[in-house]
Structure 1
C-alpha cells in the first residue's frame, strides 16, 4: 500500500526523511512585525532570528488552513497520516481534522488519520519516523494508528530556552506560576504533560546547569533506553546540542540519537540558543 506522511512545519525533518518521497510539510506562516515568512524549505533561520532580534513586537505564527491540508491529502497515496503540533499549543490539529472531513465530503473515502503529537519540534519528527517504520513493516492502517498512538502516549518532551518571552506573550504558558526572574539568569527546565500542555520541571542558575538538570530528568524518566531513538533540536547552537548528546550517551544506552536544527516555528518559540529533547 502506498502512503505519505504530512508533518506541520513545527516538526524538523532528517535528510533521509526529506529524500524518502514519503514525507511532506504543511507550512505554518510566521509574522515578524508585519513581515510574513513561509515556514518551508525557503526558511532562512539566520535572517529570521535577526529580524526577531530587531523587532519590538513579539513574532506570531498561523497554522496551515483546512484548504491547504485538503490539497495535501490529494494524490495517489492510499494512506495519509498527518502529524501536528500539540492541539494545546496550536490550531494545526483542528485545521487538519477539518481538512480531512472536508476532503472526505468532497472526494469520498480515503484512509486519512491525524495524529495530535501532544509535542512539538523533534517530537513530531520521531512520530513521523515511527509511522514510516510501521508502514515498512507491512502493518495495516489500523495497526499503524494503534502502534503510533501508543508510541505518542509513551513519548516525553523537554526543553531549556534562553528566553520564554515568545511563549509567554503568545499565551502558550497558561496555568504556569510566575517564572523565575531573568535578571538572576535563572533558566527553567520545561516539559510537556501527556496532554501536550507546557509545564515547568525545575530551574537552575545559568543555561549549562539547566541543561544538566534537563538531562537528569530525561535519565530519571526514560524506560528501556536501549530501544529508544532520542531527538535533539537546537536553535542555532550546535555545540550546545552536541554537549547534551554527549551527556546523555554517557549515562544511558540509547538506540540512536538524532540532532537537528530547528525549523521556523520551533525557532520562533525556542529563540536563539534553545534546546529541545524528545524521546
Structure 2
C-alpha cells in the first residue's frame, strides 16, 4: 500500500524522512511585529531569534489552512495521515480535520486520519516515524491508527527553556514569576499533560541543573528504553543537546537517539537555548 504522512512544521523532519518521499511538511506562518515568516526550508533561525529578542511583542503563529491539508492528502496514495501540534496549543489539528473533511467530500472512499500529537516538535517526528514503521510492517489502515494512538498515549514530553520571554509574552507565565525566575536564574522544568497542555514539573537554579533534573525525570519515567527511540531537539544550543543525549544514553539504553535543531514553530516556543526531550 502507498501512503503519505503530513506533519505540520512544528514537527522537525530528519534528512532520512525528507529523502524517503513518504513525508511532507505543512508549514505554519510566523509573525514578529510586521515581519512574516513561512516555516519551511527557507526558515532562518538566527534572523528569527534576533527579531523575537528585539520585539516587545509576542511572536504569533498561524496554522496551515484546511485547503493546504486537503491538497496534501490529495496525492494519489492509499493511506494518508497527518500529525499536528497539540490541539491545546494550536488550531493546526482542527484545520487538518477540516482539510480531511474537504478531501473526503471529493473522495468519499479515501482512508485519511489526523493524529493530535498532544505534543510538539520531535514528539511529532517520533509519531511520524511510528506511522512509517507500522505501514512498512504491512499493517492495515485501522491497525496503524490503533497502534499509533496507543503510542501517543504512552509518549512523554519534557523541556527546559533558557529564555522565558515568549512564555511570559503569550501569557503562559505571569510577569512576576518570569521576573523572579530571571533574577534568581531559576529555570523551570516543563512537560506536557496527557491532553497536551503545558505543566511545570520542577525547577532548578541555573540552566545546567535544570537540564540534569529533566534528564533524571526522563530516566525515571521511561520503561523498556531498549524498545524506544529518544528524540532531542534544541534551539541554537547543540552542546546542551549533546549533554542531554549523552547523559540519557548513559542512564538508559535506548534503541536509537535522534537529535534535531528546532524548526520555526518550535524555535518560537522554545526560544534561544531551549531543549526538548520526547520518548
Which 5+ residue runs of structure 2 have no aligned equivalent? Answer: none
**Which 4+ residue blocks in structure 1 deviate beyond 6 angstroms?**
none
Which 5+ residue runs of structure 1 have no aligned equivalent? Answer: none
Q: Which residue in 2 is equivalent to 1:183?
A: 183
2:58 corresponds to 1:58 = yes
Structure 2 residue matching 1:100: 3-state secondary structure: helix
Shift in Å, 1:168: 3.7
TM-score (norm 2): 0.96
Q: Which residue in 2 is equivalent to 1:140?
A: 140
Deviations 1:53-96 (A, max 9, x none): 22222111011111111111111111100000000000000110
**In 1, Cα distance between the equivalents of 2:170 and 2:90?**
11
**In 2, Cα distance between the equivalents of 1:93 and 1:172?**
20
Would you say the 8 A contact 2:8–2:27 is kept in 1? yes
**In 1, Cα distance between the equivalents of 2:52 and 2:171?**
18
Q: Which residue in 2 is equivalent to 1:262?
A: 262
Structure 1 residue matching 2:41: 3-state secondary structure: coil
Q: Which residue in 2 is equivalent to 1:274?
A: 274
Would you say the 8 A contact 1:37–1:43 is kept in 2? yes
Q: Which residue in 2 is equivalent to 1:215?
A: 215
**In 2, Cα distance between the equivalents of 1:56 and 1:170?**
11
**In 2, Cα distance between the equivalents of 1:164 and 1:82?**
30
**In 2, Cα distance between the equivalents of 1:127 and 1:253?**
20
Structure 2 residue matching 1:126: 3-state secondary structure: helix
Deviations 1:182-241 (A, max 9, x none): 110000000001110100000000000000000000011001011110000000000110
Q: Which residue in 1 is equivalent to 2:130?
A: 130
Would you say the 8 A contact 1:229–1:255 is kept in 2? yes
Q: Which residue in 2 is equivalent to 1:116?
A: 116
| Backbone CA RMSD of aligned residues | 1.4
Q: Which residue in 2 is equivalent to 1:205?
A: 205
Aligned pairs for 1:1-279 within 5 A: 1-172=1-172, 178=177, 181-279=181-279
Shift in Å, 1:144: 0.4
**In 1, Cα distance between the equivalents of 2:137 and 2:229?**
17
TM-score (norm 1): 0.96
Would you say the 8 A contact 1:173–1:198 is kept in 2? no
Would you say the 8 A contact 1:159–1:189 is kept in 2? yes
Per the alignment, do residues 128 and 172 of structure 1 end up closer, same or farther by CA in structure 2, a change over 3 Å counting? Answer: farther
**In 2, Cα distance between the equivalents of 1:68 and 1:13?**
18
Shift in Å, 1:178: 4.8
Q: Give aligned pairs, total.
A: 277
Would you say the 8 A contact 1:160–1:189 is kept in 2? yes
